[in-house]
Amino acid sequence: MTTKATQLGRIAEIEAQIKALTKERDELRADSVAFGYARWEYTVRMSAPSLAWWKENRPSVWHKYAKQTRVKKFVAV
């Protein structure tokens, strides 16, 4: 049987592991890009509230509310 304390303690442990691994991953990615083993690719993504509804009901207004965001993707070369 799991108690509240053990459950929350396990969650805290996992979150700490995730934080440490994320930091390590980010450092390794930066090193890989610096050494030329990989690169960052940027793409543009359009986002707007409920795209399907806007395109169906108000297609001319959709572009007014759409925003472009840059998305960074790690790619090994």
High-pLDDT (> 70) share of the chain, % = 96
- Note the pLDDT of residue 64: 74
Tens-place pLDDT, residues 38-64: 999 999 887 766 777 777 877 777 777
How many Å apart are CA 5 and CA 20, to the nearest integer?
Answer: 23
Q: How is residue 73 annotated by DSSP?
A: E
Residues 6+ apart with CB under 8 A from 71: 42, 43, 44, 45
How many Å apart are CA 14 and CA 4, to the nearest integer?
Answer: 16
